[in-house]
């Protein structure tokens, strides 16, 4: 069998990070960003065969995106190059020590023009897991249809479908999101959300227990509720399990949720039990927050235990 | 009435400069870019009362643009802030020692949504010179109409109108440009073009002499033909005059044409004769190419003679 | 009436910041520094019409100072350029994580040569508030007289006078400072000091209550005592009110006091009551300490609530 | 048939570039270096299926090497990771404007431990071209045997073998080099050398004509003599052809020879005639010298004509 | 002539520090590293006459090492330049906020080839203290013999010998280390170790009390047990004394142990009692952890009290 | 007597270099600058025993100066630390590719307060050469007297005195300079000047031949006239000799004259004949202009022949 361990798709952005205030100018550094590509990299670093699909601009910025994904060992053979549309961009500014501010330039981007046809070849190659997020259906009509089609197709083909709600308030309203994501959740085996996103895959305003119950009823096998510094809760038909976060010094929380998801799915691919999957999930989350960048600090397989029993200021000689 | 010495308008872009290849990532530096803002800064540095009008995004990048213009003493009181549209961006990459490559992200930008109403207050304040370029009418229908309206209004009010053809092949075809710019040239007292742009304000394929004759017939008083390292030619009813470029080491030619125009118009405001105006034009052009950046190296009034009789490697102690 | 909302004056320095130890060399970054210019920028960012007066060197560093102030929208039309004297400089070195060390090169600087005549035009334009600090009278005899003259003139013209004690031990002794500042406080409606500076506007060694009582007796309406991480106390004839600091991660405390004062005065200009003025004061103080630089992190009006209910590691998407 | 268009092998180094003098410290930038990997990247950028084989350290630096090669689309599936030996390093210092100085730390490196067994899987996959250099056999006994074995095996399998002499005087003497490289040349269809390296594949001290005649007699089909700024000469049984260098501004000559070879081999893979192959060879050489880095400036297929008829200071908008 | 206050020897490395992950490339900064040179600098900064001996590469990197030591006032007149062997290198990567990872390239380095003859001239010059670490004997046979010879020679000459155990697990096993270091401790008056290193100078697995008792029995006068953030314990025949660490914000713990030792030995040279020596030891340790770099933040004599009663965010104006 | 090969004195400045325009801010790099310290470093790099005397500020910047000189092996044991006065500074801005602009902050600096007493200990140590420049006597009355005293004292003690005219027009007028320097030249064996400085040690307006004749008459043995890119002329009683400059790519001419003088004096110390001294002089000048910085690119003894027969773009592997 040739297929992938995990296939994911969405928009990969070029993130321009500014150390100081954007309005006063200064140096920017380029980074690859994107909830789905973060997950893909997280799994590729752990040795899983991982592919990312989507649409990139056919210019230097699109090539930058592909260079980064290839460098990380993520398969990009099925990526579409769009000669008409520009790369999606984001500006990331450290506004204060506690507050990061993001500005998007993604309307009309290559990534937002994702179409069902862009995903056919990658899905045809086969995959054990299909991962998608609630960002992609918010990008455009065609991206919405592509998301639905991919979830349905993978689900029918027996792949585990994982949906991370990932609500982006600047892209659509909670009501619009719910109308799309709630049906989409029906294809998912694993549903990931932060506590305040949960009712986007249930009734508006419903509490956690009610939403989770509904999801389990609809066939979702695992509901993962991300709690930031408090770790996560995992609901299955067998009940709920809480995993605390690892005690690390947090320097950059962007990408922590994607790392958590990548860790969980890696545990699934390795056949770990729920406790083991959650342990790996919070481990990857810890790496993500303890280092700079959305994904740059994620661990390779031989590094998974680096943060265990760590004293601040440790040196590994 | 006090009014401005020079009013100009158009799109000011945030230029992101990469020292090395964009596709391999790395640090970018932010700069203000825009043919018209370059001219405005060139004149403001020489002490002329200068204003720039246009539409900027109402976010950190728009604020960056305004900060830079204010820092240079360019009046931005009549700038419109657009809460809906993003800043126009350009990526500038030094592809090789001899070749700079530019990529634009300006479709749908705040600047491209320029409207007649954005220009009314600034024009109402009065100006001795109105400067516009052939870039602005290529941005959108409303920007085209705004350009025409401003040229007509200023011309009627007795201001000197200066039009720099500045053809941007990625924005429109030569035929489309000619259909708009040729009538626009009818409002101009000063017409600036490079040699290969001249027939965009005349018959397609017409030679320099023919186009110039036609322009002078239509009332243009001075036609300036930019020749890069060979300096410039100025045509008036009295004939043609050639001004050689100053012998400097060129390190960055971007913005040289705008500097040339700024120098010429400064000479006009100072009441210099044609020879003096051309001398100042090539002087500013020399500063532009001898320093890095689109406008950063432009001289203040006390620096105008710095490049005269300069030996390479001079030190001013 | 055309005047300013706030006029302030003093010495604006070029601050050269070193990331590591100065003695081992390395890169320095240039910044605008100065207690009064910090206050001017704080108010300009909030949309108040603000002017800064003083004397700058007529060279590239003086132009740097003016560029920065203009960029921030602070009026510098009444600044004097001194062709004889150099810019005042300061070197700022992060000695350890907890200790910043400053070295001054300001003796004989343009700024220290401030003279009454430098302030006449700006004061003639009118202002609602005149802000001055105890640094300026320490710079020179003429600067002392200029400070006194300005306080008296503005006070007579009905402007609110605000005096921030700001004792600089390297410029003068506590006794010398007291001899000058105590009379100066007589012109002030608002007096700002840290707890250990209070007796510089009262009897040497007097306790807070005694000094405050004396000041209120002498006509000061509000005495603000800055308490660093503990917030501030405000005394009026109606009693005392404490405002706690906002709970943010502090990364750079330089400029925090100036931000506090700017916030208070902005509240005054907006007609807020004492509680509202204090709230804005501690808010600006929080921005100042939560970001790098003396003033770079100060908020615009639309950002005033950004730090409310903030979790560490928040991302504003 | 799946195989590669080109397979190459050798040592890939981590190059640490210093902008100023190394002895005074300062910042270093990391780059991938290696004559063979330069050629692999040159071909991969032009769209050829390219693989690099060799031995890399099993640490962060080895991973850096693999990341860079993967990013450029070079297949590294058959690379051996050596858990015992460190990465080979080089320090590259711009000693003066005209002189670059290189220091190597490669003795005992992972790359120098190359063994026949490291190359078996890659060669088994099949390739149209095998490229090797005279550096590899100088690294160690096992690397020497691996080079010979690979050349013989590929030659027998019908692949075109290309040998670039690339004498490294610090690794071995001219006599030692000749004793190994001269027999190795017997397997080559294409032999590349600079003029002063030619007698390392012939008699010591023999002139160009004599060495070339000998090589052609021994079955080499094409002898390419690199002439730096003067272009190159190509000898075949049909005679000699000279290709002038493209007129570009040279800023970094490191890697120019490898670029030349990559261009030639790309022309071969595309079925170009000798003139076309040489044209592509000097074109890639021109890109290499006109940009910074060993390979970073090499062109993609759509960029091949960028340097044609280029004026200094051109801008591609 | 009395010679040096302190002589130390060992391997000085060029440390290449990466701000982010090494595997993704990026800028590196050069630093001098080495436990013994750290101690030498710590003492030289406090005004003691200090010398460092050892073997450095005769290339730019070796010159960098000497430049740094000379800059700090450490005598390097007796350093041997090795024309054959390269500089020892280390790569230091901030893996996460809490974890620094070090990779060494020191096998076969100039420093590891240290020989008795390299130390004769420096020892002949005379010294009050000889400091050595357990790293040097792990480098090579000759370095081991040189360490033993120097300890014995200095001890006989009446110098105080200080041995810091400094176990490097990558260089040798605990058993191998114990076999060498335990006899070496017999020459020492001062023995420094972290708690988990103590049994390397005693019986394997012995507890602290037992090892200390044994050392005191064998003639060691003071045993210093470094406890990181908990300070240190000092054992003498008179009993045990604990010194708490100074309360500072730790940003870089590398070099803290060497700073501690330097402080202790400086106190000895100044004739302080045990409490005073420990106070200086933890003071230097506090400087080391409160600033970046292995030694860059160490204090000069006039700075020794800077951290006393320090509030976070203090500014020394 | 041990003494120095060369002793020099003057003001060493901290030079702050800006890559772009100073007025727009941006990063500065710190460098040691000073005509005399440049000469001292030039000789120290060639292995001569060299000392620099003068007065430095007793702060971080003064320590920076001493660190740099010590790093280069220049003896600074006789330097005076001035607790009252600040370091002299200069800002160096690359205004255009061909023009460097320098701004000084040296009035009232520690260096300018040089006093005879500061030089007594160094001169007492003995020296083969005393080197001084025409900058020092322009700094203050006491520095003038110190210069005269040192020249007289060294001359009487049999040292070769070298005077480089080095006119600084911002420090004093040509007439003032002549009144001081012309008598000072009477102590010199070697007189160095650029062509337009020559009449500062002769009659105002006198031509080269006349001035040189007068100097030789007054006992000067060698008059060196620096001609920039044209090399230099050396006059002795035996006639005149011209030394052409080495053909290198010039990137930074600052410090070239000092390098030239250092080369000449090194040749003298090595006992070379005039041709050899001039050859070394132009060689050091070539290194200075071919690399960045005032002295950073100067050669060590083993590098003296690096620029011989150099092709642009050479790589020393």
Predicted local distance difference test score (pLDDT) of residue A2: 59
- E164 closest CA partner among E15, E4, E10, E5: E10
> Which chain B residues are Cβ-neighbours of A108 within 8 angstroms?
107-108
Entry pTM: 0.95
Residues of A with a catalytic annotation lie at 258
For C24, which of F22, F23, F67 is closest by C-beta distance?
A: F67
Q: How many residues does chain C have?
A: 317
Predicted local distance difference test score (pLDDT) of residue E37: 98
> Which chain F residues are Cβ-neighbours of D98 within 8 angstroms?
248-249, 290, 307, 310-314
Q: Rounded to an integer, what distance in angstroms lies between the CA atom of residue F38 and that of residue F298?
A: 9
Cβ proximity of A163 and A187 under 8 Å: yes
Neighbours of E32 (CB within 10 A): 24
Q: Rounded to an integer, what distance in angstroms lies between the CA atom of residue D14 and that of residue D32?
A: 5
Q: List residues of chain B with CB under 8 Å from any CB of chain F.
A: 71, 248-251, 287, 290-293, 296-297, 306-307, 310-317
Interchain contact, B59 vs A86, CB within 8 Å: no
> Which chain D residues are Cβ-neighbours of A71 within 8 angstroms?
67-68, 70-71
> Which chain D residues are Cβ-neighbours of E16 within 8 angstroms?
16, 28
Cβ proximity of C42 and C295 under 8 Å: yes
> Which chain E residues are Cβ-neighbours of F67 within 8 angstroms?
71-72
User: Which residues have a Cβ under 8 Å from the Cβ of B189 and sit 6 or more positions away?
Assistant: B160, B161, B162, B219, B220, B221, B222
Q: What is the mean pLDDT of residues C240-250?
A: 96
To test the contact with chain B by mutation, choose from F18, F92, F95, F195 the residue with the greatest count of B C-beta atoms within 10 A, namely F95
Tokens of D268: 């071969």
Predicted local distance difference test score (pLDDT) of residue B189: 98
Q: Tell me: the pLDDT tens digits for F7-58?
A: 999 999 999 999 889 999 989 999 999 999 999 999 999 999 999 999 999 9
Interchain contact, D293 vs B20, CB within 8 Å: yes
CA distances from C243 to A61, C231, C240, C287 (A): 49, 6, 10, 16
User: Going edge to edge, which strands form the sheet with A99-105?
Assistant: C314-316, A99-105, A89-96, A13-18, A27-33, B27-33, B13-18, B89-96, B99-105, D314-316
Tell me the pLDDT band of F1, cut-offs 50, 70 and 90.
very low
Predicted local distance difference test score (pLDDT) of residue A6: 98
C44 by Cβ neighbours in 10 Å (0-12 / 13-18 / 19+) ranks as: buried
For F296, which of D21, D101, D228 is closest by C-beta distance?
A: D21
DSSP label at residue B135: S
Q: Is the pLDDT of residue F243 over 70?
A: yes
- Burial string for C215-233 (b: 16+ CB within 10 Å, else e) reads bbebebebbbbbbbeebbb
Predicted local distance difference test score (pLDDT) of residue A289: 96
CA distances from C123 to C2, C3, C65, C140 (A): 12, 9, 21, 20
Q: Rounded to an integer, what distance in angstroms lies between the CA atom of residue C295 and that of residue C299?
A: 9
Tell me the pLDDT band of E312, cut-offs 50, 70 and 90.
confident
DSSP label at residue F248: -
Predicted local distance difference test score (pLDDT) of residue C19: 82
Cβ proximity of C33 and C13 under 8 Å: yes
Interchain contact, E73 vs F70, CB within 8 Å: yes
Cβ pairs B/F, distance under 8 A: 67
For E64, which of D22, D63, D86 is closest by C-beta distance?
A: D22
Q: What angle do CA A148, A153, A158 make, to 5 degrees?
A: 130
Q: Rounded to an integer, what distance in angstroms lies between the CA atom of residue A241 and that of residue D158?
A: 62
Sign of the C-alpha dihedral computed for residues C248, C251, C257 and C258 taken in this order: negative
Question: Do the strands C232-236 and C222-226 form a parallel or antiparallel pair, or are they unpaired?
Answer: antiparallel
Tell me the pLDDT band of B26, cut-offs 50, 70 and 90.
confident
> Which chain C residues are Cβ-neighbours of E71 within 8 angstroms?
24
DSSP label at residue C84: S
Kindly list the partner chains of chain F, i.e. chains with 3 or more CB atom pairs below 8 Å: B, C, D, E
Cβ proximity of C41 and C72 under 8 Å: yes
Angle between helices C274-290 and C256-269 in degrees, nearest 10: 150
For D96, which of F248, F311, F315 is closest by C-beta distance?
A: F248
Nearest chain F Cα to E59, which residue? F302
Predicted local distance difference test score (pLDDT) of residue A203: 95
Interchain contact, A251 vs E102, CB within 8 Å: no
Beta-ladder partners of F58: none
When computed from its CA atoms, the radius of gyration of chain B, rounded to whole angstroms, is 18
Q: Rounded to an integer, what distance in angstroms lies between the CA atom of residue C79 and that of residue C57?
A: 10
Q: Rounded to an integer, what distance in angstroms lies between the CA atom of residue B122 and that of residue B130?
A: 11
Q: Rounded to an integer, what distance in angstroms lies between the CA atom of residue D283 and that of residue D42?
A: 11
Concatenated DSSP letters for D71-137? HTT-B-TTPEEESSSPPPEEEEEEEETTEEEEEEE-TT-TGGG--HHHHHHHHHT-EEEEEEESSGG
Nearest chain E Cα to C250, which residue? E313
Interchain contact, B67 vs C71, CB within 8 Å: yes
Q: Which residues of chain A have pLDDT under 50?
A: 1
Q: Is the pLDDT of residue B1 over 60?
A: no
**Reported ipTM exceeds the 0.90 cut:** yes
Q: How many residues does chain E have?
A: 317
The region of weakest confidence among C246-250, C280-284, F149-153 is C246-250
Q: Rounded to an integer, what distance in angstroms lies between the CA atom of residue C32 and that of residue C52?
A: 13
Kindly list the partner chains of chain A, i.e. chains with 3 or more CB atom pairs below 8 Å: B, C, D, E
Q: Tell me: the pLDDT tens digits for B164-206?
A: 999 999 999 999 999 999 999 999 999 999 999 999 999 999 9
Predicted local distance difference test score (pLDDT) of residue D2: 59
Specify the long-range contacts of residues B195-199, CB closer than 8 Å, at least 24 apart. Answer: B195/B225, B195/B226, B195/B227, B197/B134, B197/B165, B197/B166, B197/B167, B198/B165, B198/B225
Predicted local distance difference test score (pLDDT) of residue E313: 79
Catalytic residue, candidates E5, E75, E118, E258:
E258
Nearest chain F Cα to B249, which residue? F97
Catalytic residue, candidates B5, B82, B252, B258:
B258
Interchain contact, D67 vs E23, CB within 8 Å: yes
Q: Rounded to an integer, what distance in angstroms lies between the CA atom of residue D26 and that of residue E199?
A: 40
- A98 closest CA partner among E251, E313, C289: C289
Average pLDDT, chain F: 96
Q: Is the pLDDT of residue C119 over 60?
A: yes
B84 by Cβ neighbours in 10 Å (0-12 / 13-18 / 19+) ranks as: exposed
For E28, which of D30, D68, D105 is closest by C-beta distance?
A: D30
Tokens of F98: 């061909």
> Which chain C residues are Cβ-neighbours of A21 within 8 angstroms?
291, 296-297
The percent helix, strand, coil of chain C (3-state, each to 5) is 40, 25, 35
Q: Is the pLDDT of residue C74 over 70?
A: yes
Q: Rounded to an integer, what distance in angstroms lies between the CA atom of residue C286 and that of residue C307?
A: 8
The helix/strand/coil state of E301 is helix
Interchain contact, F297 vs D101, CB within 8 Å: no
| Virtual torsion, Cα C233, C234, C237, C238, nearest 10 deg | -80
Interchain contact, C67 vs B71, CB within 8 Å: yes
Q: Tell me: the pLDDT tens digits for E200-247?
A: 999 999 999 999 999 999 999 999 999 999 999 999 999 999 999 999
Helix (H) or strand (E) holding A310: none
Average pLDDT, chain B: 96
For E103, which of D59, D67, D68 is closest by C-beta distance?
A: D59
Predicted local distance difference test score (pLDDT) of residue B10: 98
Tell me the pLDDT band of D161, cut-offs 50, 70 and 90.
very high
> Which chain A residues are Cβ-neighbours of B21 within 8 angstroms?
60
Sign of the C-alpha dihedral computed for residues E56, E60, E64 and E67 taken in this order: positive
Kindly list the partner chains of chain D, i.e. chains with 3 or more CB atom pairs below 8 Å: A, B, E, F
Least Cα separation, residue C190 to chain A (angstroms): 29
Least Cα separation, residue E125 to chain A (angstroms): 35
Q: Is the pLDDT of residue E2 over 70?
A: no
Least Cα separation, residue E32 to chain C (angstroms): 12
Tokens of C247: 């709970």
Q: Is the pLDDT of residue F2 over 70?
A: no
Least Cα separation, residue F68 to chain D (angstroms): 10
To test the contact with chain D by mutation, choose from F73, F253, F314, F317 the residue with the greatest count of D C-beta atoms within 10 A, namely F317
Cβ proximity of F93 and C59 under 8 Å: no
Helices (H), B240-273: 256-269
For F30, which of C28, C30, C101 is closest by C-beta distance?
A: C28
Helix (H) or strand (E) holding B82: strand B80-82
D38 Rama sector, left if φ>0, alpha if ψ -120 to 50, beta otherwise: alpha
Q: Is the pLDDT of residue B312 over 90?
A: no
To test the contact with chain A by mutation, choose from B17, B20, B22, B76 the residue with the greatest count of A C-beta atoms within 10 A, namely B22
Q: Rounded to an integer, what distance in angstroms lies between the CA atom of residue E194 and that of residue B31?
A: 53
Known active-site residue B98: no
Least Cα separation, residue F161 to chain C (angstroms): 33
Q: In chain D, count H helices and then E strands.
A: 8, 15
Interchain contact, B97 vs D290, CB within 8 Å: yes
Tokens of F271: 């006992």
The helix/strand/coil state of E303 is helix
Beta-ladder partners of A55: A80
Interchain contact, E105 vs D93, CB within 8 Å: no
Q: Is the pLDDT of residue D185 over 60?
A: yes
User: Which residues have a Cβ under 8 Å from the Cβ of C58 and sit 6 or more positions away?
Assistant: C81, C82, C83, C110
**Separation of CA F30 from chain center:** 19
E173 by Cβ neighbours in 10 Å (0-12 / 13-18 / 19+) ranks as: exposed
Go through the domains of chain F in sequence order and give each one's CATH number.
Answer: 4-10+35-84+114-290 (3.40.1190.20)
């Amino acid at each position: 069998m040739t297929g992938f361990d995990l296939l994911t798709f969405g928009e990969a952005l070029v993130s321009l990070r500014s150390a100081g205030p954007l309005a006063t100018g200064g140096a920017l550094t380029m980074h690859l960003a994107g909830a789905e590509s973060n997950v893909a990299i997280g799994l590729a670093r752990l040795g899983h065969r991982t592919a990312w699909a989507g649409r990139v601009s056919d210019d230097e910025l699109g090539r930058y995106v592909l260079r980064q994904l290839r460098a990380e060992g993520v398969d990009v053979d099925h990526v579409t190059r769009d000669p008409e549309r520009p790369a999606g961009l984001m500006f990331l500014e450290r506004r204060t020590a506690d507050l990061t501010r993001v500005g998007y330039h993604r309307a009309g981007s290559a990534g937002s023009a994702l179409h069902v046809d862009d995903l056919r070849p990658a899905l045809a190659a086969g995959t054990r897991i299909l991962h998608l997020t609630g960002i992609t259906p918010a990008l455009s009509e065609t991206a919405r249809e592509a998301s639905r089609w991919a979830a349905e197709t993978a689900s029918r083909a027996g792949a585990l479908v994982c949906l991370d709600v990932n609500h982006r308030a600047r892209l659509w309203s909670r009501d619009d999101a719910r109308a799309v994501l709630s049906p989409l959740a029906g294809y998912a085996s694993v549903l990931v959300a932060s506590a305040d996103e949960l009712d986007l895959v249930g009734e508006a305003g419903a509490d956690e227990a009610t939403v989770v119950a509904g999801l389990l009823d609809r066939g979702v096998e695992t509901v993962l509720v991300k709690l930031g510094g408090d770790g996560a809760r995992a609901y299955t038909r067998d009940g709920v399990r809480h995993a605390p976060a690892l005690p690390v010094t947090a320097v950059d929380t962007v990408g922590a949720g994607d790392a958590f998801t990548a860790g969980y799915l890696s545990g699934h691919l390795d056949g770990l039990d729920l406790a083991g999957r959650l342990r790996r999930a919070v481990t990857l989350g810890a790496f993500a927050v303890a280092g700079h960048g959305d994904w740059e600090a994620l661990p390779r397989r031989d590094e998974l235990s680096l943060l265990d029993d760590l004293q601040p200021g440790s040196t590994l000689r």
